[in-house]
Amino acid sequence: MDDMHRLIQTCKDAGVLFALHDNYIDFYPDADGFSYEQNIAFHPGGTPVKAWLNKGRAARSYRYRADRVEPFLTRNLKLIRKHLAPTGYFIDVWSSAPPYEYWTADGRFFDRVFTRDTWGRHFSWIRDLLGGDAPQISESGHDQLIGHLDGAQTNHLRVGEPIPGNRLGWCVWNLQCADAERTVWFDVAHHDRFILHGAGYSSRYQAGLDSRMHGIYSDDYITTEVLTGHPAMVPSAFGRDVVRKYWLLHDLMRALAMRQIERVEFVKDDLHRQHIAWSGGGQVWVNRGQSDWAVDDRTLPQYGFTARVPTDKGTVEASIARRGGMIVETARSPEQLYFNGRRVVDPSLPIRLTVNKVDLGPDRQFKLSLTWEAEEPIPAGWSPFLHFVDKAGEIVFQAGHNPGTFDKSQRGTIVASAHGAVPKRFAPGATVELRAGLYQRSGGERLALAGPDDGTRRIRLGAIRLEGEGNRLTGISWTPHKPQPDPFLARQNSEAKPIDFGPVITAGACRLTRENNALRVTPLPSAGAPNYVVRVRWPTLGWKLPEPRHVEAIDEDGKVLGRRPVKREGDAVVVECEPGVFAYRLTGD
C-alpha cells in the first residue's frame, strides 16, 4: 500500500491523472456476495449468463445484474476515496459491451436502456464522489455513454485475413475488399467530447503480427495514434520506450486535445496517405502506404508522419520521417526539443541455443541434443522453455529441458537435452516450428536472447518434419531456421550513423529543455548501452541562453555528480553521454 500511495502522490505532483482499474460486469463464484439468485443476470430460459472465462485462473465469471451493481460499487468506491483518493476512474467493459437486456432468477425483465442508464448514473456518481471533476474512463468506447463517460481505451482493428489459428483472429475484420485502411471516423464526430486513448491493447492491435513492427511501441501503432489524435498509450508505467513515446507525442497530443477535426483528405485518392486538418490550424499527415511520401520538406516512410499545431505559446511539431537516409524521430515545442537518431540499443544477452540432433524413440517420444553458448552468464534461477508452435505461433506441444532451471550462473558452452512426445494428432508429413528461450517461473518474465526473435522473446530455432507412413512415425528430421532480413532493423540506425537534426547531431536519442539560463540534455534511458555523443549547435536552439562554460552530470534529483569544462568541435558543444548518468546541464557559470 505504501508503494501505491507513493505512486499516486508522484502522479499528483506531476499533474498526471491516476485511475484505478475496476470491473462490475464479471462476477466470480468465489467472490464475497456472489449469488445466482440475487446478483447474476439470466437468459429467458432460466440459465445464468456466462461472462469472461479467465483462463489464467481457470475460472468462469458470470454477468452482473445492472440493478445489483450499486451496493458493491458504492462500498468499494467510498473505501477507495478514503484510502487512495484517485483523480480518475476506469471501469472495464461498460463501454465495450453493448448495454444488455436480462432476466432475474425469479423472472423479472430489465431492458437495454435500463442497463445503459444505470451505467451512466454510476459513472456520474463516481465523478462527484472523487471530486475535482474526476474523469471517467472505460474500454473500447461507444458513444451511448457520452456525458457520463469522458473517454476510453480504443480498439482500432485492421481489415484483412486473420492469421490462421491465432487466438486473436477476432481482432481482425475479415472482410473481402480491394483495399482498406484505418481512418479517423469516430474522432471526426467525438474527439473533443469523448477521447479515445491509444490504438488498442497491443495484442489486439497486432493480432498475431510481429510486436516490434506492429505492437504498441511500433511506428505502425504510433502513426495510428497520431492519425486519430489519441493520447499515446503504453502497457506499463516505466521503461525506455515509455519515455520515448512520451517525449515524441505528449506535447503534440496535448495541443490536439480539445480541438475538432475539420477535414480529412485521402491525398490523390490514396487511402493510405491521409491529411487531417484540425481546428485552430493544426495539420497532420500520415503515410500508411508502402512507398515513401514527400510532404513539404519531410519524406515519410511507411508508418511515418509529420504534424504541426499552432498554440498560444508557439508551434508544436513532431515527426517520424527519413533524414540522412535513416528513419528518425523528432519533436519540437516551446518547452522542449527531442531528437532520436535510432541508434540500435539491443537489450538481448549474447546467449544462443543450438539444436544439434533430434532422435525419435518408441511411442512418439523424442529427444533433442542441445548446446548453449553463453558469452555472458546465464543468470541463476531462470528456466529454459521449448515451444513447438503452429503457423500462428501458438503452442501445440512442448519439450521438457534438462536441467529444468539453471540453479547457478553459468557461462561458456553448456551441453543440455530436452525430451517430449509428439501428440497423436500430428501425422507423418507435418512440420512444426521450435521456438525457445529463458523465463522466470514466478511472473513469467522472459529474457531477451541473441537470435531471430519472434517478437515475444522467443528465438526461432528451426522446424521438425515428421516422417513415416499412415499414422506410424519412423523418424524426425530437423531443419535449422534460415535467417531472413529483419524489417525492424531496417527502420533502425544499425551503423550508429550521426544524424544532423540542425540543432543537434547524434545517432542516439535525447531531450533538450531550458533550465533557467542553462540547457539540460537528458539522454533516452538505455541500461547497458555504450556511450554516445550529442553535439549541440548553440545558436540554432531557438532559446537565448548564455554560451556554456561547463557540463555538469546530474542525477534524477538534480544533484551534481561531476563537473567539467565544455568541449567544443567547430560550432557545436559536445556532450558525451555515459551509462548511469541521468542528465547533463550546460551552464555559463
Rg of the chain on CA atoms, in Å:
27
Q: What average pLDDT does the segment 103-111 reach?
A: 97
Reply yes or no: is the peptide bond before residue 403 cis, omega within 30 of 0. yes
For residue range 287-338, list pLDDT tens digits in order. 999 999 999 999 999 999 999 999 999 999 999 999 999 999 999 999 999 9
Q: What is the mean pLDDT of the chain?
A: 94
Is residue 155 in a domain? yes
Query: Residue 529's pLDDT is what?
Result: 63
Burial class for 248, CB neighbours closer than 10 Å (0-12, 13-18, 19+): buried
Q: Which of 11-15, 107-111, 477-481 has the lowest mean pLDDT?
A: 11-15
425, 457, 480: which is the final residue of a domain? 480
Q: Which CATH number is 232's domain given?
A: 3.20.20
Same domain, 16 and 157: yes
Q: What average pLDDT does the segment 178-193 reach?
A: 94
Q: How confident is the model at residue 530 (pLDDT cuts 50, 70, 90)?
A: low
Which residue, 157, 161, 163, is CA-closest to 176? 161
Q: Which CATH number is 524's domain given?
A: 2.60.40
Is residue 423 in a domain? yes
Q: What average pLDDT does the segment 481-487 reach?
A: 89
Query: Residue 344's pLDDT is what?
Result: 86
For residue range 391-421, list pLDDT tens digits in order. 888 899 999 999 999 988 889 999 999 999 9
245, 260, 275: which is the final residue of a domain? 260
Q: Which of 44-48, 179-183, 523-527, 584-588 has the lowest mean pLDDT?
A: 523-527
Instruction: State the Cα–Cα distance between residues 113 and 95, nearest whole angstrom.
Output: 14
Q: What average pLDDT does the segment 205-224 reach?
A: 94
Residue ranges of alpha helices (H) inside 144-232 are: 185-190, 202-206, 211-214, 219-228
Query: Residue 298's pLDDT is what?
Result: 96
Share of the chain above pLDDT 90, in %: 83
How are beta strands 19-22 and 88-91 bridged, if at all? parallel
Same domain, 528 and 443: no
Same domain, 82 and 206: yes
Is residue 55 in a domain? no
Is residue 290 in a domain? no
For residue range 23-33, list pLDDT tens digits in order. 999 999 999 99
Residue 526 scores a pLDDT above 90: no
260, 280, 300: which is the final residue of a domain? 260
**Residue range(s) defining the domain that contains residue 101:** 2-25+66-260
Position with higher pLDDT, 436 vs 542? 436
- How many structural domains compose the chain? 3
For residue range 259-292, list pLDDT tens digits in order. 999 999 999 999 999 999 999 999 999 999 999 9
Same domain, 419 and 517: no
Q: How confident is the model at residue 528 (pLDDT cuts 50, 70, 90)?
A: low
Query: Residue 392's pLDDT is what?
Result: 82
Same domain, 226 and 109: yes
Is residue 156 in a domain? yes
SS3 assignment, position 345: coil
Same domain, 405 and 472: yes
Residue 141 scores a pLDDT above 80: no
Q: What average pLDDT does the segment 241-270 reach?
A: 97
Same domain, 107 and 218: yes
Same domain, 564 and 425: no
Is residue 217 in a domain? yes
Is residue 178 in a domain? yes
Q: Which residue has the cell 522472459?
A: 446
Q: Which residues contact 377 (CB under 8 A, 6 or more apart)?
A: 409, 410, 411
Q: What average pLDDT does the segment 423-441 reach?
A: 94
Q: Which CATH number is 436's domain given?
A: 2.70.50
Helix 240-256, helix 219-228: angle, nearest 10: 20
How are beta strands 151-153 and 195-197 bridged, if at all? parallel
For residue range 70-97, list pLDDT tens digits in order. 999 999 999 999 999 999 999 999 999 9
Same domain, 534 and 469: no
For residue range 334-393, list pLDDT tens digits in order. 999 999 999 988 778 899 999 999 999 999 999 999 999 999 999 999 999 999 999 888
Position with higher pLDDT, 571 vs 397? 397
Instruction: State the Cα–Cα distance between residues 544 and 534, nearest whole angstrom.
Output: 20
- What does the DSSP assignment read for 454-479? -SSS-EEEEEEEEEEETTEEEEEEEE
Q: How confident is the model at residue 434 (pLDDT cuts 50, 70, 90)?
A: very high
Q: Rounded to two decimals, what is the model's pTM? A: 0.89
